[in-house]
Amino acid sequence: MYLDAATRKTLLPRLSAPDPRRRVLLTGATIVTMDPRTGILPRGDLLIDGSRIAAVGPGLMARGAADDAVVVDAAGCVLAPGFVDTHRHAWEAQLRRVMPDVDDLGAYVRATLLGHAPAYRPHDMYVGTKLAALTALDSGITTMLDFSHNSRTAAHSDSAVRALLDTGIRGVHAAMGPHFGDWDHQWPADLARLQEEYRSDLLTFRLGVLATAEIAGPDLAYGPATARAARALGMGVSVDAVFGHASSQAVLAWERQGLLGQDITLIHATGLTDDAWRAVGETGTTVALAPTSDAQIGLDTAVPAVDEALAVGVRPGLSIDVEVALAGDMFTQMRALHTIQRMRAVNAVYGTGREPSRISTHDVLDFATAQGARTNGLADVTGSLTVGKQADLLVIRAEDINNMPLNDAVGTIVLGSDARNIDTVFVAGQVRKWDGRLLGVDLSALREEVHASRAHILATAG
């Protein structure tokens, strides 16, 4: 927002003070709702009432919506839903880019899951998860699924959950036992305690599992036993490491056993057979793509499976995966997928005269918002600027040096913007970023925590 310093200073106390009944009216913005019924408003207003979106449309100010509301002039900005990350191993954040050129899954597994993971104390789980969640908020991700696969003790899980709550992000804690090393084997039973102890409007839980027993054995693999555990807990399942022939066979087995459906998310889904994709489409199973992870690390075919998903009627969510080798923002994921798919589409018909089937910038923004919410089991909660949904939204400066002039709002978000353009972030109607800065974060103290935690992990892991 292009407000003067005095106005920003005046507004901040009114916006940031805890008040469940506060009303906020954002006026004069281009609004990308990602709700097909409303579409894009070239100039409109959005009213937040408490934690929810109360109204979206042109001329709300003139119709009295400003009564008792904090009015924020958002002219020159784009309002959009917050991004939704469907899969990130947040506890690894202290190890960012420690292996930037890793070129196979085995090297990642040996270095991180076998080498570093056993060195983590509960405090290290807290620090890594907190760092990842704050970075997500800073770059416009308002919902993050933390695939927390280093749950060595109940204390490790407690620390990861508390980190999500302390940052104010909309968190999904998907717990899984560790691949290697000593642990208490409290998972998955301990998820019942976590659900009861950490009840919050901003936190949900899922069961995290692997597709097959190849890497870490049968106890962590999806199948009848883990499916029963998830159903008993009343939660969805996120299945990681879904790659190639073995996972294709597993998908078909799950279909026969009745273990697929809308509450199941397959992560990556690279190199699956046509029959496996048929099963995914027919059962309405959701898919979380990790575009940069698949392509950069080289997971099975190394090609993000967007065409395969769309061919069977599945619109996927997007995810970050591992920051040990990858970028941590959703802009990178959208651009990577957009570029890779369009390159492959053109290449597939090159010289034939046929028309390539290309995805659009609107498609990838849909994947990063509405479809991500659906994939995380939160379609009725977030993912679009729809009346009644939670007020999880971004104010993006469209007249900054790298965005001006605003010609196409979706193109500006997907192809032009980055974290520096995100002026304001709301989660459940609460301001988490204002004037381009995270609120309530002592960066110096956080930096000290992160460096000390990293030093412990590296020294202990050798």
pLDDT per residue over 18-40, tens digit each? Answer: 888 899 999 999 999 999 999 99
Residue 216: predicted pLDDT: 77
DSSP conformation class of 113: I
Residue 314: predicted pLDDT: 98
Residue 325: predicted pLDDT: 96
Q: Per residue in 286-326, pLDDT tens?
A: 999 999 999 999 999 999 999 999 999 999 999 999 999 99
Q: Which amino acid makes up residue 16?
A: S
Residue 385: predicted pLDDT: 98
Residue 53: predicted pLDDT: 98
Q: Per residue in 334-384, pLDDT tens?
A: 999 999 999 999 999 999 999 999 999 999 999 999 999 999 999 999 999
Residue 2: predicted pLDDT: 83
Residue 253: predicted pLDDT: 97
Dihedrals phi, psi of 268, to nearest 5 degrees:
85, -70
Partners of 27 in the β-ladder: 73
Partners of 242 in the β-ladder: 268
pLDDT (mean) for 447-460:
98
Cβ neighbours for 324, distance < 8 A, ≥ 6 positions apart: 92, 95, 96, 97, 98, 99, 102, 108, 111, 112
Residue 9: predicted pLDDT: 85
Residue 214: predicted pLDDT: 84
Residue 192: predicted pLDDT: 96
Residue 20: predicted pLDDT: 85
pLDDT (mean) for 423-451:
97
Residue 257: predicted pLDDT: 97
Q: Per residue in 71-84, pLDDT tens?
A: 999 999 999 999 99
Q: Per residue in 115-158, pLDDT tens?
A: 999 999 999 999 999 999 999 999 999 999 999 999 999 999 99
Cβ neighbours for 130, distance < 8 A, ≥ 6 positions apart: 163, 166, 167, 446
Cβ–Cβ < 8 Å for 217, 201 = no
Cβ–Cβ < 8 Å for 130, 163 = yes
Residue 457: predicted pLDDT: 98
Domains of the chain listed by start with CATH number: 5-82+380-438 (2.30.40.10), 83-375 (3.20.20.140)
Q: Rounded CA gap, 451 and 345, in Å?
A: 44
List alpha helices for 258-324, DSSP H. Answer: 274-283, 291-293, 306-311
- In this predicted structure, the answer to whether residue 65 has a pLDDT above a threshold of 90 is no
Residue 3: predicted pLDDT: 85
Cβ–Cβ < 8 Å for 91, 120 = yes
pLDDT (mean) for 181-192:
96
Cβ–Cβ < 8 Å for 262, 284 = yes
- In this predicted structure, the answer to whether residue 5 has a pLDDT above a threshold of 90 is no
Is the whole-model pTM more than 0.95?
Answer: yes
Terminal alpha carbon distance of the chain? 48
Residue 62: predicted pLDDT: 73
- In this predicted structure, the answer to whether residue 66 has a pLDDT above a threshold of 80 is no
